[in-house]
Structure 1
Amino acid sequence: MINIDRLWDRIEELSNIGRTPDNGVTRFSYTPAEHDANELVKSYMQLAGLDVSYDTVGNLIGTKYGTEGLSAILLGSHIDTVPNGGKFDGSLGVLTAIEVMHSLQDQNITLKHPVKVIAFKDEEGSRFGFGMIGSRAVAGTLTDQDLDMKDVEGISIREALIEQGFEPKNIHSSKIDNVKVYLELHIEQGKVLENHHTPVGIVTGIAGPLWLKFKLAGEAEHAGATPMGQRKDPLVAASLIISEIEKIASKYSDAVATVGSLSVTPGGVNVIPGAVEFTVDIRDINEQLRDCLEKEIKDYAAKIVNERNIKMTIEELQRVSPVLCSQDIQNAIKQSVYELDYPVIWLPSGAGHDAMQFKDIFPLGMIFVRSKDGLSHNPKEFTAKEDVKAGAEIMLNTLVKLDKA
């Protein structure tokens, strides 16, 4: 059985590294704080009976060898954070995976498959603006050119690797082959489970983000001297489009669309704006539906700017395909949920996770645990102890089922 007190104490102990004044956590990749956190997690892995090593990009990997020469089961998440983030995001997945292996050791249970618990490097992308470095390396998709990405101080990923004692020339050796499945536990970072009054959920897939930048150009004129009917105001056009984006997205059951950035030029209190830029983040686990939503938004925007004589260009910043979780893994999780007498809830993930990197490489699955008030990337991020225990028990049972399958 899961030792919830041991797991809870480790969550608290790890959160002390990188602690901020308002009780948040800041741990960027390849920094002293993250190094210390890795070393602490390494000690937990060793106590759980795992053979521990770092790969060439700094992924921390604890391995428990199986009784048969079979493909590996990977468990993992990350321990880096956003600025002033919470103590559960990422870290809970790593620590729960370790606790699952520790529990098996306590019960003298050895699995047929080897199991690798991985603390992936830099999932968040907080330092270099380029996330999931570790999981990309494990998937074999991290390139030498990616290492040229720099932080705000001009330090590249390559330089950070060397400073930490890793060898960037050998990043391709971090790729892990012969994998049976990947399983990740994570906090939901939303309110679905809380609204359903259930501690755990089965993730159906991970929404792929599509990022667009709308650029609207009108004519900057004097706010007092230009009659209302003679204006070419791109901000008014943008406001109509932004308002409609919310209405359009609401028609789709799992889709979301967010305007997260808006800039107005020239920005004078007595000047009609001459240009406006805003971004739109569109997500859905169904790529076809996401594309339909995108088209509806673009068509409505074109209608508005045509009516108001505004020029518009749309720049595509990012287009990532959604990722579907393995049906077999979902079924194994479902059986574990049933056996432990919890309600069964399926839900998509709107946020990105390391699991995304393994699309089309090997089967993947995710377990969500409830987030209080849906808060994440926030010092107030919280998951109750009993919910952590539920998630850990389900992960343990699911691992055993996947090992037998």
Structure 2
Amino acid sequence: MTSAAEVLRRCDALAGCSEHAEHLDRAHLTPALAAAQGLVEGWMAAAGLRTWRDQAGNLCGRAEGREPGLPALLLGSHLDTVPDAGRYDGMLGVLLAVAAAERLRDELPAWPCALEVVGFTDEEGARFGTALLGSRALAGTWDDAWWALRDAHGTTLEQAARDFGLDPALVGTAARRPGELVAYLEAHIEQGPLLEEADRSLGVVTTIAGAQRFRVEVVGEARHAGGTPYPRRRDALVGAAEAIVLIERTVRDSGAIATVGQVAVEPGAVNVIPGRAVFSVDLRAATDGERDAMRATLLAGIADVCAARGLTMRVTDLYEAPATPCAGWLRDALRDGVATTGDTDPLDVWSRAGHDGMAVSAVTDVGMLFLRCGDGISHHPDESVREADVAAGLDALTAAARTVATRTGAAAAHAAQAHAARAGSAQADAEARA
């Protein structure tokens, strides 16, 4: 059976599938991704899975339960990376899922559900600027407008799909219906320091952050740097700087988290008072209510800063993703799985980062297991994990999958029906609003 050491060796092998020799860069629908899929497909087949690539580019594997065609428990993560990436974000979760499938191989003919593993093709959105393309296709929430997206070289998503051997007209065949899935479980490095600080190998995710991104434009007056005394100045950059400090001061002791990652100043001359400053805000919280309340607080504070300095402000919304709570029954299964490793009181953690589960939640219940990563570093070549933690993660994921299967007959079926009902109600509400 595949050991934790072998899982890590496979991570090293996948790190060699890159668009650049100097660093790991594996984007959606690239030859590097195809090479990585080729390796993983071989490992899936060795684990007893029937493999295929769907028309969104996702790599899939399946083992039947006690009869063909049963709904499936889906395990997986993503195989794409950010530029200059580490070797564990996403791919470790895929390889743990493959290893768990191998461990469960002899049990599966008695299971009341099938087992599937997926390596999503695009979680990061690094190439076309829209994340979760693979999992959105699987969840049936694909938007045909995305085919017109272009990468940095001008290639459209549609052309890239054709070059990858896909038929854009068939992307809908990648979609799963609620009755086809029992649940989705994903193992992933934490991408934060909480588990390391608590000296825990594993944590159970409670919710995936609800995020908003917006742009704040602060407008003042550009004037001569030497000839304008301070009482006459309406310096947009100073106002923006004060606002940015206010954001950090307000958020740091709350349950939310906010980041200003971009700042632009006009006219940008060394001897001109800035007349316009624009900055981005990435705001996340465990619930949409917390996020929205913090947004209101921040914008009120920024408005006060601008008013005091004779500045005006405009806010432009860029992106919003609702918080995704992990299903209670899957959290229980994962807690039971972690308990098999000796940690009988697993740490609950909410995910500050986005994951494929956000998209998959449109079609089935989701659960996530976090593994400790060194110093919380991710999206960087210095990503690191401990072999002992990987071993614990493999044990916990395998046990959790087994628990989900044993509950499939009643609890999981009820959860699937409830999820389908919620989805139907949301669709009806949307149609009524339309």
* Partners of 1:367 and 1:106 in 2: CA distance: 24
Task: Kindly indicate whether the alpha-carbon contact (under 8 Å) linking 2:48 and 2:63 is maintained by their aligned counterparts in 1.
Answer: yes
**RMSD across aligned positions (CA):** 1.5
Q: Which amino acid aligns with 1:28?
A: A
Q: Which amino acid aligns with 2:17?
A: I
Q: Could you say which residue in structure 2 is the equivalent of 1:397?
A: 399
Residues 202-217 of structure 1 correspond to what in structure 2 (within 5 A)? 202-217=204-219
Task: Kindly indicate whether the alpha-carbon contact (under 8 Å) linking 1:26 and 1:82 is maintained by their aligned counterparts in 2.
Answer: yes
Q: Which amino acid aligns with 1:58?
A: G
Q: Which amino acid aligns with 1:151?
A: D
Q: Secondary structure at the match of 1:378?
A: coil
Task: Kindly indicate whether the alpha-carbon contact (under 8 Å) linking 2:80 and 2:122 is maintained by their aligned counterparts in 1.
Answer: yes
Asked if 1:270 is matched to 2:282, the reply is no
Q: CA deviation at 1:58?
A: 1.2
Q: Which amino acid aligns with 2:298?
A: I
Task: Kindly indicate whether the alpha-carbon contact (under 8 Å) linking 2:236 and 2:311 is maintained by their aligned counterparts in 1.
Answer: yes
Residues 320-339 of structure 1 correspond to what in structure 2 (within 5 A)? 320-339=321-340
* Partners of 1:200 and 1:377 in 2: CA distance: 20
Q: Could you say which residue in structure 2 is the equivalent of 1:302?
A: 303
Residues 282-293 of structure 1 correspond to what in structure 2 (within 5 A)? 282-293=283-294
Deviates more, 1:153-162 or 1:91-100: 153-162
Task: Kindly indicate whether the alpha-carbon contact (under 8 Å) linking 1:325 and 1:365 is maintained by their aligned counterparts in 2.
Answer: yes
* Partners of 2:252 and 2:45 in 1: CA distance: 48
Task: Kindly indicate whether the alpha-carbon contact (under 8 Å) linking 2:66 and 2:109 is maintained by their aligned counterparts in 1.
Answer: no
* Partners of 1:260 and 1:220 in 2: CA distance: 24
* Partners of 1:126 and 1:176 in 2: CA distance: 25
Q: Secondary structure at the match of 1:293?
A: helix
Give deviations 1:112-166, integer Å, cap 9, x for gaps. 3111101111111111111111101100001211111110111111111111111
Q: Cα distance 1:67–1:28, how it changes in 2: closer, same or farther (>3 A)?
A: same
Task: Kindly indicate whether the alpha-carbon contact (under 8 Å) linking 2:64 and 2:109 is maintained by their aligned counterparts in 1.
Answer: no
Q: Cα distance 1:345–1:114, how it changes in 2: closer, same or farther (>3 A)?
A: same
Residues 374-393 of structure 1 correspond to what in structure 2 (within 5 A)? 374-393=376-395
Q: Which amino acid aligns with 2:58?
A: N
Aligned length: 403
Task: Kindly indicate whether the alpha-carbon contact (under 8 Å) linking 2:203 and 2:369 is maintained by their aligned counterparts in 1.
Answer: yes
Q: Which amino acid aligns with 1:79?
A: L
Q: Which amino acid aligns with 2:278?
A: E
Give deviations 1:262-295, integer Å, cap 9, x for gaps. 0111112221101000011110121111111000
Task: Kindly indicate whether the alpha-carbon contact (under 8 Å) linking 1:2 and 1:389 is maintained by their aligned counterparts in 2.
Answer: no
* Partners of 1:330 and 1:215 in 2: CA distance: 41
Q: Which amino acid aligns with 1:171?
A: V
* Partners of 2:394 and 2:112 in 1: CA distance: 20
Q: CA deviation at 1:2?
A: 5.6
Task: Kindly indicate whether the alpha-carbon contact (under 8 Å) linking 1:191 and 1:373 is maintained by their aligned counterparts in 2.
Answer: yes
Q: Cα distance 1:114–1:137, how it changes in 2: closer, same or farther (>3 A)?
A: same
2:197 to 187, 195, 198: 195
* Partners of 1:323 and 1:108 in 2: CA distance: 30
Q: Secondary structure at the match of 1:306?
A: helix
Deviates more, 1:8-17 or 1:191-200: 8-17
Q: Secondary structure at the match of 2:65?
A: coil
Q: Secondary structure at the match of 2:316?
A: strand
Deviates more, 1:60-69 or 1:193-202: 60-69
Give deviations 1:295-323, integer Å, cap 9, x for gaps. 01111111111111112111111121111
Q: CA deviation at 1:26?
A: 0.8
Q: Which amino acid aligns with 1:10?
A: R
Residues 314-393 of structure 1 correspond to what in structure 2 (within 5 A)? 314-342=315-343, 343-393=345-395
Q: CA deviation at 1:14?
A: 1.4
Give deviations 1:207-240, integer Å, cap 9, x for gaps. 0210110011111111111111110001111111
Q: CA deviation at 1:374?
A: 0.8
* Partners of 1:59 and 1:310 in 2: CA distance: 49
Task: Kindly indicate whether the alpha-carbon contact (under 8 Å) linking 1:104 and 1:110 is maintained by their aligned counterparts in 2.
Answer: no
Q: Secondary structure at the match of 2:269?
A: coil
* Partners of 1:336 and 1:115 in 2: CA distance: 17
Q: Secondary structure at the match of 1:353?
A: coil
Q: Cα distance 1:373–1:305, how it changes in 2: closer, same or farther (>3 A)?
A: same
Task: Kindly indicate whether the alpha-carbon contact (under 8 Å) linking 1:193 and 1:370 is maintained by their aligned counterparts in 2.
Answer: yes
Q: Which amino acid aligns with 2:112?
A: K
Unaligned residue ranges in structure 1 (runs of 5+): none
Q: Could you say which residue in structure 1 is the equivalent of 2:35?
A: 36
* Partners of 2:357 and 2:50 in 1: CA distance: 23
Identity of aligned pairs, percent?
36
Deviates more, 1:357-366 or 1:328-337: 357-366
* Partners of 1:392 and 1:356 in 2: CA distance: 22
Unaligned residue ranges in structure 2 (runs of 5+): 408-434
Q: Secondary structure at the match of 2:89?
A: coil
* Partners of 2:159 and 2:19 in 1: CA distance: 26
Residues 232-247 of structure 1 correspond to what in structure 2 (within 5 A)? 232-247=234-249
Q: Could you say which residue in structure 2 is the equivalent of 1:136?
A: 136
* Partners of 2:253 and 2:17 in 1: CA distance: 43
* Partners of 2:332 and 2:107 in 1: CA distance: 25
Q: Could you say which residue in structure 2 is the equivalent of 1:62?
A: 61
Q: CA deviation at 1:393?
A: 0.7
* Partners of 2:94 and 2:337 in 1: CA distance: 20
Q: Could you say which residue in structure 1 is the equivalent of 2:118?
A: 118
